[in-house]
Amino acid sequence: MINNKKFNIRIFTQIIFFVFILLISINKYLGITLLPEGSLHSLCPYGGIETFISFITAGTIVKKIHESALILAALILMLTLLFGPVFCSFVCPLGSIQEWFGKIGKVVFKKRYNHFIPYKFDKYLRFLRYITLIWTVYLTTQTMRLVFLEVDPYFALFNLWSDEVTIGGIIVLVSTLLLSLFVERPWCKYACPYGAFLGIFNKIRLFKIRRNSSSCINCNICDNTCPMNITVSNKDKITDHQCISCFECTSEYKCPIEKTVTFSTKKEGVK
Amino acid sequence: MKLKSLYIPLVIIIILFGGVTISKGLGIWITESTKIPKTISSGTYAGEYDPSDIRGSYTFDDIYNSFNISPEILAEAFNIITDKPRDFQVKSLEDMYSDLEVEVGTDSVRRFTALYTGLPYDSDEILPQQAITILYSNNKISDSEMESLLENTIILPTITDDTSTNSNSASETESVINGKTTVKDVLKYDISLEQLEELIGIKIDDQSSTIRDLCQENGISFSTIKNSLNELMSE
């Protein structure tokens, strides 16, 4: 029998999606007919968010973005309303590669890893990504161009070999990967506009991370294990805009007490 | 209701791939540009295709389909020698003419299209002299409009669609005659004073005079002289 604590389905899914996106991005050289057609722009859900305002107000789509991006954005929004930003934790290749770099940092810095930035600063820095969100959507709507492309680390990651890659994108990508050696998912925490957008729905999503305080032994493992540094141990349910539904804090993974931290629609015993 | 992490990938795959499959079935899964520009939403030209929405990915054939300008005319306007003008992509212009001091690219095609069709497009983009000549010879612009456009223009080098140029490189043949061009400037282009005097039909004493002033003082059309000079220079 497969033990989920050993066989991490999330990491397995991350690898599958990473390879899938990689294959799509190099498919013009490979020519695999089964893979989706079109550029990476056509499969970028954030492109759907960026072009949404112009699509609604003027019926036009920003250059390089296509209808498929709007559809993907809608499907991921549906997932988010049900389960939170599982796109970030299970699918996003940029999130995955940050985690993989972070594993090196964990080996090097051990318990200090992911705790370098003092909380008094960190709590404000977490809102920087909303500035990125507003800035990119505003400028994209005004100019009808993908302005974010100039600094987009996700696009740079899968276009390092193409002439479409930008210097800004490479700089942000390299900086992000280097920072991942000290901080878990730095791009997601401080800069990702799509993560910022999806995080808003943590307040109203159907399935939430819930803690059963009656069985909790206050070991704080859930707090220490959260990649996004959310304090789980003093809450009954997690509605923090930074939660990415990664399951790391749950009883299925790190919480040592069964049925104490769960991913559920409502607290057990509460109707 | 509790959910284990094992089910999340399944739900993701069902929603994402199921959603994509359904949208494909509905015909709304579009991953490429439709190559049809948006239409003008209001005003006199409401309902007409908007030249400002021409994109770099469009071919000359796409422009023909929406604006009824033949690919051959577009190729001639932008001085492109090709067997397949229909397949020429607008964005290729920027690469082909990247050596020029002024940018000739998608915006230039938009402006040319707007002037050719009479559709509105607010731009002061420089048009190549070849494009201006075509607009004028097809009665798309007036004398005064041509003179105004020729104030700031450029002669394009001849380009083939595989981006190889003919014997003249862009920088070698780039030559601009405008209102500030003096006689002395013209003489730098292997045109003798005698040729210039013969062309304008007057005796030139002061080489610092501008060609335009000389034309105006002697009642000669500046644009006609300008075209003739540009032809001489491109030879």
pLDDT of residue B171: 38
**Interchain CB contact of B53 with A (< 8 Å):** yes
pLDDT of residue A108: 96
In the predicted structure, residue B173 carries a pLDDT above the cut 70: no
In the predicted structure, residue B201 carries a pLDDT above the cut 90: no
Of A42, A90, A207, the CB nearest to B31: A42
**Interchain CB contact of B6 with A (< 8 Å):** yes
**Interchain CB contact of B15 with A (< 8 Å):** yes
Of B5, B11, B29, the CB nearest to A252: B5
Minimum Cα–Cα distance from A249: chain B residue: B5
**Contact of A46 with A73, CB cutoff 8 Å:** yes
CB contact under 8 A, B31 and A43: yes
**Interchain CB contact of A109 with B (< 8 Å):** no
The mean pLDDT of B74-85, rounded to a whole number, is 88
The mean pLDDT of B181-189, rounded to a whole number, is 78
CB contact under 8 A, A10 and B8: yes
- How close does chain B come to A96, measured CA to CA in Å? 15
Residues of B in contact with A82 (CB under 8 A): 11
Residue position matching structure tokens 């599982």: A86
Give dist(CA A170, CA A155) in Å, integer.
9
pLDDT tens digit sequence for A111-130: 899 999 999 999 999 999 99
The mean pLDDT of B216-222, rounded to a whole number, is 69
The SS3 of residue A258 is coil
Among A144-148, B193-197, B227-231, the least confident range: B227-231
CB contact under 8 A, A71 and B28: yes
Q: How many CB atoms lie within 10 A of CB B42?
A: 7
Residue B70, judged by CB atoms within 10 A of its CB (0-12, 13-18, 19+), counts as: middle
**Nearest CA-CA partner of A245 in B16, B19, B11:** B11
DSSP type of residue A233: T
Residues of B in contact with A79 (CB under 8 A): 11-12, 15-16
Residues of B in contact with A36 (CB under 8 A): 20, 31
pTM above 0.80, yes or no: no
pLDDT of residue A267: 59
In the predicted structure, residue B224 carries a pLDDT above the cut 80: no
**Interchain CB contact of B2 with A (< 8 Å):** yes
Residues of A in contact with B2 (CB under 8 A): 262-265, 268
pLDDT tens digit sequence for A54-110: 888 777 778 778 889 999 999 999 999 999 999 999 999 999 999 999 999 999 999
In the predicted structure, residue A53 carries a pLDDT above the cut 50: yes
Would you tell me the crossing angle of helices B7-25 and A9-25 to the nearest 10 degrees? Answer: 30
Give dist(CA A3, CA A99) in Å, integer.
22
Of A37, A86, A268, the CB nearest to B12: A86
pLDDT of residue B167: 36
**Contact of B72 with B87, CB cutoff 8 Å:** no
pLDDT > 90 fraction of chain A, expressed in percent and rounded: 72
DSSP per-residue codes, chain B: -B--TTHHHHHHHHHHHHHHHHHHHTT----S--S-PPBP-SSTTTTSB-GGG--TT-BHHHHHHHH---HHHHHHHTTEE-S-GGG-BTTHHHHHTTTSSS--SHHHHHHHHHHHHT--------EEHHHHHHHHHTT-S-HHHHHHHHTTEEPPPPEETTS-B-SS-HHHH-----TT-BHHHHHTTT--HHHHHHHHTS----TTSBHHHHHHHTT--HHHHHHHHHHHHH-
Interface TM-score (ipTM) > 0.85: yes
Q: Between β-strands B159-160 and B153-154, what pairing exists: parallel, antiparallel or unpaired?
A: unpaired
